[in-house]
Chain A
Amino acid sequence: MVDAPKQPYMGDAMLDTLIRMNTELMSELWILRDRVTILEHMLQEKGVVDRKAIDDFVPTGELAKELLRERDALVKKVVGGAWTEGFTVDSLLKK
Chain B
Amino acid sequence: MTNASLPEKAVNAAGQPKMVSFAQRGRSGMEFLGSLQNFVATHVRQRARDEFNADPEGAVLVQNWSQRNEPWSERIAKAKAVAEKSNVYRYDRLMQRYVAEEVYVKGIPATEERRKEAEAFYKIPIKSAGGSLELDPTIPIPAYHSETEWHLMPGGWEGYDLYGITMGSGVGPLVFARGGFAAVEANDDLRKQRIDVAQQFQKKSYGRIYEPGCGGFGTLAAVHNVFPDAELVGSDLSPHLLRQGHMAAERMGIKVDFKQRDARDTREPNNSVDGVIMYALQHEMPVDVNIDTLKETLRILKPGGDLVMSDPPPFAAVHPLQAVVLDWDTEHRGEPFFTVTREVEWAEVMKELGFVNVEAYTLGAQGYPYVVRGSKPL
Is A16 interfacial (CB 8 A cutoff)?
Answer: yes
Q: Please report the C-alpha to C-alpha distance between residue A34 and residue B27 in the assembled complex, in whole angstroms.
A: 10
* Known pairs A34-B24, A35-B28; A10 contacts B154 (CB<8 A): no
**Taking CB as reference atom, which chain B residue is nearest A33?**
B28
| Residues of chain A within 8 A of B32, CB atoms compared | 26-27, 30-31
Q: How many residues of B contact A (CB 8 A)?
A: 27
Nearest 10 Cβ contacts at the A-B interface: A34-B28, A9-B94, A30-B32, A31-B28, A2-B152, A27-B32, A9-B93, A9-B90, A2-B149, A10-B90
Give A1-19 as 1s and 0s: 1 = Cβ < 8 Å from B's Cβ atoms.
Answer: 1100100011100001001
Q: Please report the C-alpha to C-alpha distance between residue A20 and residue B104 in the assembled complex, in whole angstroms.
A: 16
Give B309-352 as 1s and 0s: 1 = Cβ < 8 Å from A's Cβ atoms.
Answer: 00000000000000000000000101000000000000000000
* Known pairs A26-B32, A35-B28; A5 contacts B95 (CB<8 A): no
Is B25 interfacial (CB 8 A cutoff)?
Answer: yes
**Taking CB as reference atom, which chain B residue is nearest A4?**
B101
List CB contacts (< 8 Å) of A31-82 with chain B.
31, 34-35, 38
Is B225 interfacial (CB 8 A cutoff)?
Answer: no
* Known pairs A1-B154, A31-B29, A35-B28; A20 contacts B149 (CB<8 A): no
**Taking CB as reference atom, which chain B residue is nearest A30?**
B32
Q: Please report the C-alpha to C-alpha distance between residue A16 and residue B33 in the assembled complex, in whole angstroms.
A: 17
| Residues of chain A within 8 A of B29, CB atoms compared | 27, 30-31
List CB contacts (< 8 Å) of B138-165 with chain A.
149, 152-154
| Residues of chain B within 8 A of A11, CB atoms compared | 90
Q: Report which A residues bind B (CB closer than 8 A).
A: 1-2, 5, 9-11, 16, 19-20, 23, 26-27, 30-31, 34-35, 38
Is B284 interfacial (CB 8 A cutoff)?
Answer: no
* Known pairs A10-B87, A27-B29, A34-B31; A5 contacts B332 (CB<8 A): yes
**Taking CB as reference atom, which chain B residue is nearest A8?**
B94
Q: Please report the C-alpha to C-alpha distance between residue A11 and residue B28 in the assembled complex, in whole angstroms.
A: 31
Is B91 interfacial (CB 8 A cutoff)?
Answer: yes
Q: Is the CB of B94 within 8 A of A10?
A: yes
Q: Please report the C-alpha to C-alpha distance between residue A92 and residue B95 in the assembled complex, in whole angstroms.
A: 38
* Known pairs A2-B149, A19-B91, A23-B36; A9 contacts B28 (CB<8 A): no
What's the nearest-Cβ distance from chain A to residue B48, in Å? Answer: 13
| Residues of chain A within 8 A of B93, CB atoms compared | 9
